[in-house]
């Protein structure tokens, strides 16, 4: 199963790959070179299909838990001053996604969207300390029953050139449903109340909509 954001790119990739394969078969006479080019095309197609995959998962919704919004590796767990929306200290948990991770962004909590904003910006590597303030990004805040306002921020990486955000202010959303999509490498920061109990550790691998980041 593939995400809707990938349909156009997948079709274009398949078309170009088929044309390329036919051209190679017709014009390249050196056998080893022909096989090498064919293999390169096949690997490219597989990578594109893997990037836009959207596997079905058995989600367990729980208002007492904040779930990871994305697949990836936990790279930051720290107390920070969040100045875009809260203007106060929060617990930040950041998940880095490599190009081979599933890139669907899911709501970590359910509730009402009270803030949603897109910020144009740079394309620093996603683990750069200033990427959360200077890179292209979207900030979404959901008002939940147990945790109050929970902010998650999609951050473009060095390869990502487009962030898709589905959140609209005033919208009622359910935990684990699609919040957005980041194309080709990125990071997502989650900002939690200081009294939230963190359930992950640095460098831990997490799954979007499945792994628990924190509990109340």
pLDDT in tens, 123-136: 565 555 555 666 78
Same domain as 76, residue 41: no
Judge contact between 205 and 102, C-beta under 8 A: no
Q: Taking the mean position of all CA atoms in its chain, how far away is CA 207?
A: 11
Matching residue, tokens 């990037």? 51
Same domain as 69, residue 46: no
> What pLDDT is attached to residue 184?
65
131 annotated active-site:
no
Beta-ladder partners of 89: 81
Instruction: State which residues form the domain around 23.
Output: 4-51
Confidence of residue 210 (pLDDT cuts 50, 70, 90): very high
Q: Which of 68, 116, 131, 186 is catalytic?
A: 186
Same domain as 132, residue 94: yes
Least confident of 66-75, 90-99, 164-173, 182-191: 182-191
Same domain as 141, residue 190: yes
What is 121-136 written as a DSSP string? -B---TTSTTHHHHBS
Same domain as 69, residue 44: no
Query: What are 10-37's pLDDT values in tens digits?
Result: 899 999 999 999 999 889 889 899 899 9
CATH assignment of the domain containing 161: 2.70.70
Please tell me the total count of domains within the chain: 2
Matching residue, tokens 């006479």? 29
Confidence of residue 186 (pLDDT cuts 50, 70, 90): confident
> 132 versus 62: which is more confidently predicted?
62
**Which of 89, 203, 201 has its CA nearest to residue 151?**
89
CA distances from 73 to 95, 117, 173 (A): 5, 25, 25
> What pLDDT is attached to residue 102?
83
Same domain as 197, residue 144: yes
Helix (H) or strand (E) holding 8: helix 7-27
């Amino acid at each position: 199963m593939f995400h809707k954001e990938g349909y156009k790119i997948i079709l274009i990739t398949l078309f170009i790959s088929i044309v390329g394969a036919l051209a190679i078969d017709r014009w390249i006479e050196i056998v080893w070179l022909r096989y090498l080019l064919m293999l390169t095309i096949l690997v490219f197609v597989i990578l594109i299909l893997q990037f836009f995959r959207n596997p079905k998962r058995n989600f367990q919704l729980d208002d007492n838990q904040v779930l990871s919004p994305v697949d990836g590796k936990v790279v930051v767990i720290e107390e920070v001053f969040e100045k875009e929306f809260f203007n106060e200290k929060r617990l930040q948990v950041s998940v880095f996604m490599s190009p081979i991770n599933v890139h669907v962004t899911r709501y970590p909590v359910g509730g009402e969207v009270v803030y949603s904003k897109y910020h144009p910006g740079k394309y620093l590597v996603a683990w750069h300390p200033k990427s959360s303030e200077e890179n292209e990004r979207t900030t979404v805040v959901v008002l939940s029953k147990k945790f109050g306002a929970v902010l998650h921020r999609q951050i473009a990486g060095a390869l990502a050139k487009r962030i898709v955000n589905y959140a609209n202010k005033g919208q009622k959303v359910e935990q684990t449903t699609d919040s957005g999509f980041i194309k080709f490498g990125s990071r997502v920061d989650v900002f939690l109340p200081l009294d939230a109990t963190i359930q992950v550790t640095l460098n831990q691998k997490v799954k979007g909509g499945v792994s628990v980041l924190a509990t109340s």
